[in-house]
Structure 1
Amino acid sequence: MSGGNSATNKCGLAELLIFMAAIICGTGCSICSKTMMELRGEGITGEEEVFQKPIFQTFGMFVGMMFGLVMHKVVVIFKIPFPGYDHGTDNSADGAGGLASGAKTYGSIDAEADPLVKKEEQASSGSQQLPVWMYFFLAIPSVFDLAATALCMMGLQYIDVSIYQLLRGSGIIFVALMKQHVLGHHLFSFQWIGVFWNVMAVLVVGGTAILNESESDEADQSGDALLGVMLVMAGAVVQAMQFVFEEKVMTMDIPSPPLLLIGMEGLWGTVLCLLIVYPIVYYLPGDDHGSYEDPWNTIHMFMNTPTIQNAFIVYFLVIFLYNFFAVLVTFMLNSVWHAILDNFRPITVWIVDLFIFYVISQGTFGEAWTRWSWLQVFGMGILLYGTAVYNAPNAGSIRLEGRWFDFGLDFRSEYTEIESEEQGAELDQEWREKMDTFKARKDSSFYGERSPHVSVHTQSLRGLATNI
């Protein structure tokens, strides 16, 4: 289970504040997405209409991510300490700021919940200039991200944002299946148990959306909830393909710094939206003045409705800030906390959405509590339980050790195997860091080939690591 830092990192005041900031911004992303789809403004015909523009929101997401390029330049020029950047050398021509040996990366559990995870072996000793072709290569994950986000935004039109967020969390199902059958990675038995509970959560949450719709007064929307669930699940499948692709292809000798990767995916996504996606949805038949989404109508509504403009500005900011704080969460703590962050979002999104409905908007925006909401709470509990089981034996997870609430399942031998491998990896990492220190001391007799003991130390330490 890879992570940016050791699992022993403590959560102090600074770490807690960063975690809370990530929770707030992540919740704001989902709330803003749904709220913008419920706003009304003057359409191109002069009549008031609902601003349901999923492609525009996808475009806005990529514009927000593109700000990562600005942050990348700031970090490189002013040599600001940031995860994934090594300012110890000056040979990074573009400011690519390659990863140094032992540099911290970030991501989520088992390199599958965050597309920026890099294996330790891909970090090289010193900064390297990022080749030009890499900037074009980063267009590939943008295509996956574009398709996944567009599908999810389309589905969000038809379901509550809390259900949407819960269904997004089920992407672990498809990642696990692809890792096993596409990458050929062996998953442990307890992880498949976690996947099973995630499947159960999807069935319960999806059923809740359909039951809520059956009680709606809007009879003409029959079947929309099922369509929304299917679109969001399709988006989760494509998102899983993105994660697997990046884990398979993007573990290269010269990895991309995190802010540059975020920014380039945003840049390519913006270009693809403007040149490919918008022309397609314009000529695709639909309810937006004859198109699935009419960009001219979108521009007219945006330019003539200050409320939509303000909502988009907030949406733009929280998207980038969420990506920014999510990086810091894993850097300052570890990848497990990033997974915990993702698990908290459905809870905070639902609480805030209920608060908006009953307190702020008095029933205009937000989400109402229905008689099926308790079923949704049950589904949320199953999802959190399944994810915690899958993420074991990391801190904050649930180990299946044969207790009654483990349903008699005992996988302690698998947890021991994982912990032994992690201890060995930590010893290897410590040795590499010591070697970097020795190499920096060029006047020392222990440097390079002048020390006959280097290879002996390396072999003995690695031998110890494999026997733990």
Structure 2
Amino acid sequence: MLCAYSWYAWCIIISMIVTGAARSVVVKLAYQSGFEAPLTITLLYFLGQSLSLGIYWIQNKTSNGMFWKVPFQRKRGRGQSHQVGQYPPPGGEEEDQIFQEEKIAKELETKRISVSLDSDPLGNGSSHGLSQKSIIATQWTERIPWYYKPVIPGFFSLLNSTLRWLSLVYVAASVAEMLITGLELALSVVAARAIRKREISNTRWMGVCVVSIGVIVVSFANYHNKTAAAVAVTNEVYDDDGMNIYDYNGNASGDDEIDVAQKNYITGIVLIVLQCIFSVLQDLAEEVFMQASDFPPTLLLGMEGMFGLIFGLLIYICFGEKLGEDPMATIAILQEDPYMSAWLVGLPFLFLVTGIFNIKATEVTSSMTRNVWKNLRTLLVWIAALCIFYMSGNSDIGEAWLMPGSFYTLVGFMTMSGGIVVYYWHKKIEIEATDAMPLQRTDHEVL
């Protein structure tokens, strides 16, 4: 195996992939149904994140306030985890085995607490590539009060989410997901090296380069599809003699369709690039606070959402109309369409679930590793969009298979998937070399 994750980590990663894909599909369907309100979607996004504060409160209540003070430890290679401090009475062979596992877990917990008391910020998550320079690079977190820490990722989240939902207006959901996940992987590796001071192996740099090539191929495919669709419209607005069938006082000519398609393509790409930059900074800030400062993930997510919701509401009320979204028009649409209103009620809960799995994936691995696995969302988004288009009978929703543009997109996705394999290839050797030292690592330390 290239990735020696526990069942717990695998559940987090798979759930992150599935819920993230569902989020993109649902938002794109809303846009294709006529509800193009990215600022409203952004507010719902932060509302969903804010609900994570309730999850944090429940976790503390159900664990007598000790849920995050004494985390569960898992020994790599074991299928079952046990909480420190609970010992079954000795008896048969199975009880003895459990007793030994818990004894090892207690030793690991004691070691972790002693390290924490020595102010070593390398606590949770992946320690791959971290060094003394990494410790020095994150010492600034100790000078920030805990209640101010979520402001930093919250600010990046506000910019990131606004640009993300706006980009779906101009770019197909599957293409946007491919470009976003590919770019975020490449940028997260660069940020991890420059800011987090992680040592990145040559094999991983090679994997990032392969993923970047796949991103370029997908971008080319998207440009080809946009241009081909515009050319098809152009052919429809000219008659057999080559004359424009629209009068000069009419709406637009076929040439205008091509110009609009090209401008939309450029706009979408710029939005995606900016979104990826802010997203990587957000992910890295979350990783540092959770792993170097032991900040509870659900509390961090909830406070991020609260800050984003407050600032987002101010922007929406003061500048919403200037940014192209009239709040009164949005309310009118919701009053006329009860199904859309019901959809809006359920959307924050989808954002909540997705956000929890996203931030938990960062906690148990790293922001860099999370962005590797996010690439698999693109396949689910694409399959869902194709199924919706051909099974719904409505050509306005979903995505059609276009020739040859969709083949280019498929080649780009396969290239990015190959980059993931290259990225993880060296792990097989590392795992075989370290299997004999189980007491030195926990599941959270396996990247």
Partner of 1:28: 22
Partner of 2:188: 175
CA distance in 2 between counterparts of 1:192 and 1:9 reads: 22
Cα displacement string for residues 274-297 of structure 1 (whole angstroms, at most 9, x for unaligned residues): 12355234334xxxxxxx222232
Judged with a 3 Å threshold, the aligned counterparts in structure 2 of structure 1 residues 332 and 153 are, in CA distance, closer, same or farther, namely closer
CA distance in 2 between counterparts of 1:108 and 1:387 reads: 19
Partner of 2:315: 276
Shift of 1:428: 3.5
Counterpart residue identity of residue 52, structure 1: E
Partner of 1:342: 374
Judged with a 3 Å threshold, the aligned counterparts in structure 2 of structure 1 residues 160 and 335 are, in CA distance, closer, same or farther, namely closer
Judged with a 3 Å threshold, the aligned counterparts in structure 2 of structure 1 residues 83 and 227 are, in CA distance, closer, same or farther, namely farther
The secondary structure found in structure 2 opposite 1:367 is coil
Shift of 1:239: 1.3
Shift of 1:105: 4.7
Partner of 1:368: 400
CA distance in 1 between counterparts of 2:223 and 2:186 reads: 21
Partner of 1:455: none
Q: Which runs of 5+ in 1 are unaligned?
A: 1-5, 40-49, 90-98, 112-117, 123-129, 285-291, 396-414, 431-468
CA distance in 1 between counterparts of 2:319 and 2:127 reads: 34
Q: Which runs of 5+ in 2 are unaligned?
A: 72-82, 85-108, 114-122, 234-256, 443-447
CA distance in 1 between counterparts of 2:289 and 2:361 reads: 25
Judged with a 3 Å threshold, the aligned counterparts in structure 2 of structure 1 residues 53 and 426 are, in CA distance, closer, same or farther, namely farther
Partner of 2:220: 207
The match for 1:384 among 408, 412, 417 is 417
CA distance in 1 between counterparts of 2:23 and 2:261 reads: 26
Alignment coverage as a number of residue pairs: 361
Shift of 1:136: 2.8
Counterpart residue identity of residue 166, structure 1: M
CA distance in 2 between counterparts of 1:305 and 1:199 reads: 42
Cα displacement string for residues 51-72 of structure 1 (whole angstroms, at most 9, x for unaligned residues): 2111211111111111111111
Counterpart residue identity of residue 205, structure 2: W
CA distance in 1 between counterparts of 2:420 and 2:66 reads: 29
| Stretch moving more, 64-73 or 216-225 | 216-225
- Decide whether the 8 Å contact of 2:157 with 2:279 is kept in 1: yes
The alignment status of 1:307 with 2:319, answered yes or no, reads no
Counterpart residue identity of residue 179, structure 1: A
CA distance in 2 between counterparts of 1:142 and 1:347 reads: 29
Partner of 2:70: 86
The match for 2:304 among 251, 256, 265 is 265
The alignment status of 1:222 with 2:244, answered yes or no, reads no
Shift of 1:204: 0.8
| Stretch moving more, 240-249 or 227-236 | 240-249
The alignment status of 1:53 with 2:37, answered yes or no, reads yes
Cα displacement string for residues 43-101 of structure 1 (whole angstroms, at most 9, x for unaligned residues): xxxxxxx3211121111111111111111111111118998563899xxxxxxxxx997
Judged with a 3 Å threshold, the aligned counterparts in structure 2 of structure 1 residues 295 and 132 are, in CA distance, closer, same or farther, namely farther
CA distance in 1 between counterparts of 2:110 and 2:356 reads: 21
Counterpart residue identity of residue 313, structure 1: V
Counterpart residue identity of residue 390, structure 1: Y
| Stretch moving more, 199-208 or 338-347 | 338-347
Partner of 2:249: none
Judged with a 3 Å threshold, the aligned counterparts in structure 2 of structure 1 residues 312 and 425 are, in CA distance, closer, same or farther, namely farther
- Decide whether the 8 Å contact of 1:108 with 1:339 is kept in 2: no
CA distance in 2 between counterparts of 1:179 and 1:309 reads: 41
- Decide whether the 8 Å contact of 1:32 with 1:311 is kept in 2: no
Partner of 2:243: none
CA distance in 2 between counterparts of 1:195 and 1:427 reads: 32
The secondary structure found in structure 2 opposite 1:169 is helix
CA distance in 1 between counterparts of 2:374 and 2:192 reads: 20
Judged with a 3 Å threshold, the aligned counterparts in structure 2 of structure 1 residues 101 and 351 are, in CA distance, closer, same or farther, namely farther
- Decide whether the 8 Å contact of 2:385 with 2:399 is kept in 1: yes
Counterpart residue identity of residue 347, structure 1: L
Shift of 1:180: 2.8
Higher helix share: 2
Shift of 1:142: 0.6
After TM superposition, the score normalised by the length of structure 1 is: 0.66
Partner of 1:153: 165
Counterpart residue identity of residue 306, structure 1: P
The secondary structure found in structure 1 opposite 2:148 is helix
Counterpart residue identity of residue 66, structure 1: S
Cα displacement string for residues 313-368 of structure 1 (whole angstroms, at most 9, x for unaligned residues): 33222222223445677899999995675232100110011000100243231111
Shift of 1:272: 1.3
Shift of 1:273: 0.4
Counterpart residue identity of residue 54, structure 1: P
- Decide whether the 8 Å contact of 1:59 with 1:273 is kept in 2: yes
Give percent identity, aligned residues only.
22
- Decide whether the 8 Å contact of 1:83 with 1:258 is kept in 2: no
Partner of 2:149: 137
Partner of 2:57: 73
Counterpart residue identity of residue 181, structure 2: G
Judged with a 3 Å threshold, the aligned counterparts in structure 2 of structure 1 residues 16 and 140 are, in CA distance, closer, same or farther, namely closer
The alignment status of 1:351 with 2:383, answered yes or no, reads yes
CA distance in 1 between counterparts of 2:186 and 2:228 reads: 30
After TM superposition, the score normalised by the length of structure 2 is: 0.69
CA distance in 2 between counterparts of 1:249 and 1:259 reads: 12
Q: Which has the higher contact order (CA 8 A, sep 6+)?
A: 2
CA distance in 2 between counterparts of 1:392 and 1:192 reads: 12
Partner of 1:62: 46
Judged with a 3 Å threshold, the aligned counterparts in structure 2 of structure 1 residues 56 and 424 are, in CA distance, closer, same or farther, namely farther
